[in-house]
Amino acid sequence: MEDCPRLLQLKRARDLARVTASRGTNSFYYARTSGDIVINMNNQEPDVKSIRELEDKAREAAEAKDLDRYVSFYADDAILLWPGAPMVTGRAAIRKFMRLFFSMPDFSLSFKTARVELSLAGDFAYTCGTNKVTLVDPNGKRMKDSGKYLTVYRKQSDGTWKVVADMGNSDLPAPIPA
């Protein structure tokens, strides 16, 4: 790239109006600025690897029903958007909400990460993938569900990543109004 100092100047000036594409973990990001296209070739592979490892550890904690370890991946101000429930705000509230599920004998939660994407600045990331949930409904009926999830991470000042927003949804058919 001919003008690398210009890229840094544009970043500092916050001229990066919008990200128009990103591809893979080699982190070739394109941003449009006043008609120019800027390419940021920062290697974000270490962050992608860290986030994948976090997701593996969170999955292990969920499968072991280790509530404390599972909730430790959330930031203090995180939000949880669980299917069929109101928004849950804050790590303490998420712990209380998830305790209901983790205490169910037949509850299980597993998920598989399909994608990890980092922001241009490298301070936010999202993951998405598939999940499977088993629980007992209020009528005592065992229910199995599969769906999708989207999780947003924020890089902390110490370089670690924490979940700031976590959302899942179901693949079950939506009820059709009569």
- Tens digits of residue pLDDT in 82-109: 988 999 999 999 999 999 999 998 999 9
98 in the same domain as 49: yes
146 in the same domain as 61: yes
Give the mean pLDDT of the chain. Answer: 82
73 in the same domain as 23: no
94 in the same domain as 154: yes
Percent of the residues in the chain that have a pLDDT greater than 90, as a whole number: 62
pLDDT for residue 128: 97
- Render 58-71 in DSSP notation, one character per residue: HHHHHHTT-HHHHH
149 in the same domain as 109: yes
Q: Total domain count for the chain?
A: 2
Domain hosting residue 149, numbered range: 45-170
Q: Measured at the alpha carbon of residue 132, what is the angle toward residues 130 and 136, in degrees to the nearest 5?
A: 155
The answer to whether position 177 is within a domain reads no
The answer to whether position 115 is within a domain reads yes
59 in the same domain as 132: yes
55 in the same domain as 32: no
The answer to whether position 96 is within a domain reads yes
Side-chain half-sphere CA neighbours of 174 within 13 A? 6
The answer to whether position 69 is within a domain reads yes
* CATH number for the domain that contains residue 127: 3.10.450.50
157 in the same domain as 137: yes
Confidence at 43, pLDDT banded by 50, 70, 90: confident
145 in the same domain as 73: yes
26-40, 104-118, 158-172, range with the lowest pLDDT = 26-40
pLDDT for residue 140: 85
The answer to whether position 175 is within a domain reads no
Q: Where do the DSSP E strands lie in 3-123?
A: 18-23, 28-33, 36-40, 74-81, 88-89, 108-118
Task: Please count the other Cβ atoms lying within 10 Å of the Cβ belonging to residue 172.
Answer: 12
The answer to whether position 32 is within a domain reads yes
Confidence at 172, pLDDT banded by 50, 70, 90: confident
How does strand 74-81 pair with strand 161-170?
A: parallel
pLDDT for residue 148: 97
24-28, 53-57, 79-83, 174-178, range with the lowest pLDDT = 24-28
58 in the same domain as 14: no
23 in the same domain as 102: no
Burial group, residue 141, by CB count within 10 angstroms (0-12, 13-18, 19+): exposed
pLDDT for residue 178: 67
The answer to whether position 178 is within a domain reads no
